[in-house]
Chains A and B, each alone.
Chain A
Amino acid sequence: SQTIHQWPATLVQPVGSPLSLECTVEGTSNPNLYWYRQAAGRGLQLLFYSVGIGQISSEVPQNLSASRPQDRQFILSSKKLLLSDSGFYLCAWVPPRAGARYEQYFGPGTRLTVT
């Protein structure tokens, strides 16, 4: 069966420090992968998505970046964190087969607090 992992679960970082959040999917190959951010009391904002290795699309211009170094690994990064980067970061995946009909499966999330 397929599972999705996010690491770390929680993170407290000072303003100006770098960031690296990791998402990995097991039990599938060539999934679509997505990064979302959920600010406190707000809905989900799509940040990046990837349809394959090295293929990243950005939804919102900001100081974050994403990379997909391996088929089932999706990394969210920043060189210098801002206070406004605080939030709950969720990774999601969509199976590659057409029969899955686009439903996204979410990871457990990473709570980032920038101080």
Chain B
Amino acid sequence: AQSVTQPDIHITVSEGASLELRCNYSYGATPYLFWYVQSPGQGLQLLLKYFSGDTLVQGIKGFEAEFKRSQSSFNLRKPSVHWSDAAEYFCAVVRMDSSYKLIFGSGTRLLVRP
């Protein structure tokens, strides 16, 4: 069965520092992968997606993610974090049947130190 693991529940970084949020997936074929961000009390916003092709994908707000098939990973990165990036981040994979359901990781809460 498909699954997504985000091993870090919380991560704290200083403003201006680089960021990497980890995501591991379980799926036999090439997965469709997503990163979403959720600010407190808000819905989820799509940051970026990977379907095929170039394994380094660029998203909004200066985020990027790299798909590594050998490691079953899709880690999210940002070279310099801003205080406004403090939020919860969810990695997700599409369940490949007619439902198109997303399977979400448990999320990583990012705290940014001034």
Contacts and interface: CB of A to CB of B under 8 A. Distances in A.
Given A43-B104, A44-B90, A103 B46 contact: yes
B41 interface: yes
Interface stretch (A14-22, A69-77, A107-115): A107-115
Interface residues of A, number: 23
Interface of A is mostly: strand
A51 B46 contact: no
Interface in A63-115: 88, 90, 92, 94, 101-109, 111
Contacts of B42: 108-109
Interface in B97-112: 98-102, 104-107
A46 interface: yes
Contacts of B46: 103-105
Contacts of B34: 103-104
B57 interface: no
B43 to A, nearest CB: 4
B43 A32 contact: no
Contacts of A57: 99
Interface string B34-46: 1010000111111
B43 A106 contact: yes
A58 B98 CA distance: 14
B39 to A, nearest CB: 11
Contact of A106 (B44, B51, B98, B107): B44
Interface of A: 32, 34, 42-44, 46, 49, 51, 57, 88, 90, 92, 94, 101-109, 111
